[in-house]
Amino acid sequence: MRFMIIVKASVATEAGEMPQESLLAEMNDYHQELARAGVLLDGNGLKPSSQGWRIRYEGGERRVVDGPFAETKELIAGYTLIQVRSREEALEWTRRFPNPQGPGLEAEIEVRQLFELDDFAPTETIERMRAQ
């Protein structure tokens, strides 16, 4: 089972402020612990939305919308991707996730399970995907 731990953006992350050294060290230690346990797939911070874009689909057209994007609470500042045996194991790891804003500050992470091929009914397309 794969889970994505999503770090919500803040005013500071959207302003391009780099995390404090102590937070970088804490996140590095956490990711090293995940790696030693064999559950870390990937993890990284994201640059502000001002350096990104969206593709808007309208009818048959695609339109590029450059950032920044107004709703900070809907944006993400980083992620960690883990592969574990159960939801409970994912919950155990995420309870240990460092506060992304720093000790004592209000913050929130979101955890979402990724779809696996076994979640889909068997079809020709799914079988081709399994063979890749």
What are the residues whose beta carbons fall under 8 Å from the beta carbon of 19, sequence distance 6 or more?
Answer: 27, 45
Q: 101: which 2 tokens? A: 């804003």
When computed from its CA atoms, the radius of gyration of the chain, rounded to whole angstroms, is: 18
Distance CA 132, CA 130 (A): 6
Binned average pLDDT, 10 residues per bin, the chain of 132 residues: 97 93 96 99 97 96 94 90 99 97 91 95 92 91
> Domain of 113?
2-131
Please report, for residues 45, 64, 125, 131, the alpha-carbon distance to residue 55 in angstroms, rounded to integers and kept in the order given: 21, 5, 26, 30
Pairing between strand 40-45 and 53-58?
Answer: unpaired
Task: Write down the pLDDT at residue 72.
Answer: 73
Give dist(CA 2, CA 84) in Å, integer. 6
The CATH number that applies at residue 22 is 3.30.70.1060
**Tokens encoding 119:** 């979640």
Number of helices (H), then strands (E), belonging to the chain: the values are 4, 6
* Total of domains in the chain: 1
Would you call 76 helix, strand, or coil by DSSP? strand
